Amino acid sequence: MRKLNNSELKRISIEDFKKTKKNPIVIILDNVRSAHNVGSVFRTCDAFLVEKIYLCGITAKPPSNDIRKSALGATKSVSWSYVKETINVIKKLKKEDYQIVAVEQTENSTFLNDFITKKPTAFIFGHEVDGISQDVINMCDQVLEIKQYGTKHSLNISVCAGIVISKCI
């Protein structure tokens, strides 16, 4: 086995990326405090051709050196907007017939392995310590949870986003 070098990977240009049909997935980052996590989510969204990212509340937004370090240029390819109130994004996307799914631990959540969607979906990821606010959860159509088996009760938000997006495309 031989490792491929970058020139052999045949990556598309940013211009071609913008023209490429995207997966019907939108990501909402609700008060994500770490710019490094935000950058990692941008990079994941580029890798999986995600439609758009909404940055809400205290979530860091480009330009930011900390986002740049982990995004590796994905802020230039992935479409994004800043909206102060997450609830306003949810209202907008519901009018556009998106299924709104919080990724959180709640009563009656659906485990990722059991999750199926047949329509455009917006996934919400929340604050690294406090998670998604109850007001936002109340507006969601569904809550999705990643089953965990160890002693910790949560995953890093950028890891969580990667798992969810890769399962749902």
CA distance 166 to 161: 8
Position 94 pLDDT exceeds 90: yes
Domain boundaries, the chain: 17-168
Position 118 pLDDT exceeds 90: no
Residue 94's φ and ψ, nearest 5 degrees, are: -65, -40
Q: Rounded mean pLDDT of the chain?
A: 95
In the chain, the percentage of residues whose pLDDT exceeds 90 is 92
Q: How many residues does the chain have?
A: 169
Compute the average pLDDT of residues 60-71. 94
Which pTM does this prediction carry? 0.96
Position 61 pLDDT exceeds 90: yes
Position 48 pLDDT exceeds 90: yes
- Determine the 3-state secondary structure of 120 from DSSP: coil
Beta partners for 18?
none
Helix or strand holding residue 102 (H, E) = strand 99-103
Compute the average pLDDT of residues 121-142. 97
Of 138, 139, 137, 146, the residue nearest 114 (C-alpha):
146
* Band (54; pLDDT cuts 50, 70, 90): very high
* Band (153; pLDDT cuts 50, 70, 90): confident
Radius of gyration of the chain (CA): 16
CA distance 80 to 17: 14
For the segment(s) 17-168, the CATH number from 3.40.1280.10, 3.30.310.40, 3.40.190.10, 1.10.3720.10 is 3.40.1280.10
Compute the average pLDDT of residues 66-90. 96
CA distance 122 to 52: 9
pLDDT tens digits, 3-25: 999 888 888 999 999 999 999 99
Of 123, 109, 152, 133, the residue nearest 53 (C-alpha):
123
- pLDDT at 60 (0 to 100): 95
Compute the average pLDDT of residues 15-43. 97
- Determine the 3-state secondary structure of 68 from DSSP: helix
Contact 46, 77 (CB under 8 A): yes
Position 35 pLDDT exceeds 90: yes
In the chain, the percentage of residues whose pLDDT exceeds 70 is 100
